[in-house]
Amino acid sequence: MSALKVVAFLAVLFLLTTHSAADPPSWAYPMNPPGFKPPPDDGSPRRVPGSNATYTLTQLRDLFATPDWHPQDHPPMPDIVSRGRKPGVQACGVCHRAAGTGGPENSSLAGLPADYIVQQMRDYKSGLRKTSVPDRLPGKLMIALAQQATEDDVQEAAKYFSAVKLQRIVTVRETDLVPKTRVSAWFLIAAPNGDKEPVGQRIIELAENLEQFVNRDSRVRFVAYVPVGSIEKGRSLATTGGNGRTVPCASCHGPDLKGLGPVPGIAGRPPTYAFRQLYEFKDGARAGPGAAQMKPSVEKLTTEDMVALVAYAASLEP
């Protein structure tokens, strides 16, 4: 190979590696493969543990009807949460679940300050809050919904979710090996053959009961597999700042990370979503009023740092 070709090859290699290093990690932003189609509804009634309710798969996929498996777990849902407002404002509880627990593909809203929820919706509407992967459906839906939602819609939903008690539904488990996964409907599921692979610097968050998760049950639990040593490393970063690598989390989120005034609590919340938020603050996709406060906390963080921080926060009691 000539010297010129070597230089050209190295230049291309440099561009590829530097670009890929800046790409959002695919494990945190799962994208359905082209041509993905959900399985058809066979019409059979579906059930979940601890509930007498039944829904068909078609009903569970209705974006304007929140499945309410356990009405005793939350206050009465306002219409905007239970049914939405056609044609453009889907029921909040369909994606975020009736009790606001959400899933790895979106956010946990339970117990967040109402003012914080309202501000996020305003940021989506104004364009200040975007996503680092614009083609990913959950983010696109939120941005589109925010354009159609009225101030009354937002205030009602915010008041409701802030009144729901946050339940810790994720177990953080340190490990070297994790189940191999594939993408299904914007989240990860374990591959059927049971094979394992190194965890690397990733969070692999999986439902303990996949059918319960697909049925949109707020009581479904998850396991978040993280690299060995993540929780302690995250604790050190969160409490000391890591010699200037970040800012101690308690300075804004409170000494127990359960929130402080309008600043949301981060203790006990699902880690995959939390990782995306750190990444998007650093990436600039989140540029609302809170972004200026978060910027010094994230600008020096590596992927490994962010994984550790959210693993530690998720391991705490909410």
Residues constituting the chain: 318
pLDDT band at 6 (very low <50, low <70, confident <90, very high): very low
34-83: per-residue pLDDT in tens?
888 889 999 999 999 999 999 999 999 999 999 999 999 999 999 999 99
Give the C-alpha distances (Å, rounded to integers) separating 242 from 126, 235, 239, 275.
Answer: 35, 10, 8, 18
Helices (H) and strands (E) in the chain, counts: 13, 7
What is the reported pLDDT for 14? 33
What is the reported pLDDT for 21? 42
What is the reported pLDDT for 22? 63
Average pLDDT over the chain, rounded to an integer:
92
- Ordered structural domains, the chain, with CATH: 57-163 (1.10.760.10), 170-315 (1.10.760.10)
pLDDT at 7 over 80: no
> H or E stretch including 184?
strand 181-184
210-252: per-residue pLDDT in tens?
999 999 999 999 999 999 999 999 999 999 999 999 999 999 9
177-204: per-residue pLDDT in tens?
999 999 998 999 999 999 999 999 999 9
- Residue ranges of alpha helices (H) inside 57-166 are 57-60, 79-82, 92-96, 114-126, 137-148, 151-163
273-314: per-residue pLDDT in tens?
999 999 999 999 999 888 999 999 999 999 999 999 999 999
Q: 95-98 contacts: CB < 8 A, separation 24 or more?
A: 95/138, 95/141, 96/161, 97/66, 97/216, 97/217, 97/218, 98/66, 98/67, 98/68, 98/69, 98/70, 98/71, 98/73, 98/74, 98/218
82-131: per-residue pLDDT in tens?
999 999 999 999 999 999 999 999 999 999 999 999 999 999 999 999 99
